[in-house]
């Protein structure tokens, strides 16, 4: 059976694997909808109309895509270097904490918002740098450290929200004070939540693409990720590759945290992220670790999520449907990865 599957894979061009993975996910999810007495054609039609077919829907799709683009592009750098960063969620939280230091520990100034982005970038980057240092000098597995550091970051946020930064006017609820107007990221479209961080996300996607495919540093990252031993023998600075990859990966997730803080919620609270750091792992692989494709994948996936969210009310679709689809899509992507490995083995 395995031999026949491998022969079929070898007969197909590589570009069809991703569309097949997506179509397979939609088919499986459609079967689940039918089992639950939902019409999959109607559901998919409503998702497209809701997520992309109106001013409000499209703006909400773009808004939802911002943290996914930033974190997903950041993760694509680490994964290209064969570094398994599972810590984008914690790096996102640390970015928000860095921005919170500017917001709540210093008096407001005309450049406070710029300072929030700088601190968010640095805090997220340093949070990604720590696992890289542990891996380089102590051979600690980065999967374990990045995953565990998510919980540390979340609990640091809880400590600040329940303690030093808690707003005394919220009757004990875990909220920080609302940001003043000069620290709020401007909205781009009237009547929507779309904020200017989307411009940073688009710019970051293009910039990281150029870094990865048009510079020496990007070439070294890709060579090390493809064959670490060959990279060592060729004289590539392994320390620079590890530290640069993980710093940039965490820094972009940190900017995503600033965007959620100052662009959406305008205050900090417990659990302010909707698991964007974890979903970004799926987005990075869905975009084949190419920053431009990751940006497109994040927008398409966000439209699907916005549509599913709206269908909770209109047809009673359970909220867990979003996570169910994520899981199905992940399995399909793993199948695609297997197909690409088989192709690479014989071609």
Tokens of 68: 């996914």
As a whole number of angstroms, the distance between CA 305 and CA 297 comes to: 12
pLDDT for 33 equals 87
Sign of torsion over alpha carbons 139, 132, 212, 59: positive
pLDDT per position as a tens digit, 248-278: 999 999 999 999 999 999 999 988 888 999 9
pLDDT per position as a tens digit, 293-333: 999 999 999 998 898 888 877 777 777 787 888 888 888 88
Which residues partner with 187 through β-bridges? 195
Sign of torsion over alpha carbons 39, 42, 46, 47: positive
As a whole number of angstroms, the distance between CA 35 and CA 33 comes to: 5
pLDDT for 316 equals 75
With CA atoms as reference, report the closest residue to 274 among 287, 259, 284: 259
pLDDT for 321 equals 80
As a whole number of angstroms, the distance between CA 204 and CA 248 comes to: 11
- Mean pLDDT, all residues of the chain: 91
pLDDT per position as a tens digit, 19-78: 888 888 889 889 988 988 888 888 888 888 988 988 889 999 999 999 999 999 999 999
Rounded to 5 degrees, φ, ψ at 269 are -155, 170
pLDDT per position as a tens digit, 191-233: 899 999 999 999 999 999 999 999 999 999 999 998 998 888 8
With CA atoms as reference, report the closest residue to 197 among 87, 67, 4: 67
């Amino acid at each position: 059976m395995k031999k026949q599957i491998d022969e079929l894979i070898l007969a197909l061009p590589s570009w069809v694997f991703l569309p097949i993975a997506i179509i397979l996910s939609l088919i499986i999810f459609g079967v689940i909808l039918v089992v639950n007495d939902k019409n999959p054609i109607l559901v998919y039609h409503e998702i497209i109309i809701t997520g992309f077919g109106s001013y409000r829907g499209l703006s909400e799709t773009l808004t939802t895509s911002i943290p996914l683009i930033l974190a997903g592009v950041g993760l694509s750098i680490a994964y290209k270097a064969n570094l398994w960063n599972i810590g984008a969620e914690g790096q996102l939280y640390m970015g928000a904490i860095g921005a919170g230091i500017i917001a709540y520990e210093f008096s407001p100034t005309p450049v406070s918002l710029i300072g929030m982005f700088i601190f968010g970038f640095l805090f997220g980057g340093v949070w990604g740098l720590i696992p890289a240092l542990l891996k380089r000098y102590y051979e600690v597995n980065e999967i374990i450290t990045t995953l565990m550091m998510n919980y540390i970051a979340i609990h640091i946020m809880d400590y600040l929200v329940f303690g030093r930064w808690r707003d005394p006017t919220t009757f004990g609820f875990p909220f920080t004070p609302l940001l003043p107007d000069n620290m709020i990221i401007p909205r781009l479209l009237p009547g929507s939540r779309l904020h200017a961080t989307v411009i940073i996300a688009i710019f970051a996607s293009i910039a990281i693409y150029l870094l990865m495919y048009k510079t020496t540093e990007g070439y070294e990252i890709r060579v090390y990720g493809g064959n670490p031993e060959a990279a060592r023998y060729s004289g590539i600075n392994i320390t620079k590759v590890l530290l640069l990859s993980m710093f940039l990966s965490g820094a972009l997730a940190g900017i995503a945290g600033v965007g959620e803080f100052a662009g959406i919620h305008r205050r900090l609270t417990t659990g302010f992220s909707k698991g964007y750091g974890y979903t970004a792992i799926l987005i990075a692989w869905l975009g084949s670790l190419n920053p431009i494709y990751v940006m497109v994948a994040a927008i398409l996936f966000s439209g699907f999520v916005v549509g599913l969210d709206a269908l909770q009310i209109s047809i009673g679709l359970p909220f867990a449907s979003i996570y169910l689809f994520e899981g199905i899509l992940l399995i399909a992507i793993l199948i695609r990865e297997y197909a690409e490995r088989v192709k690479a083995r014989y071609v």
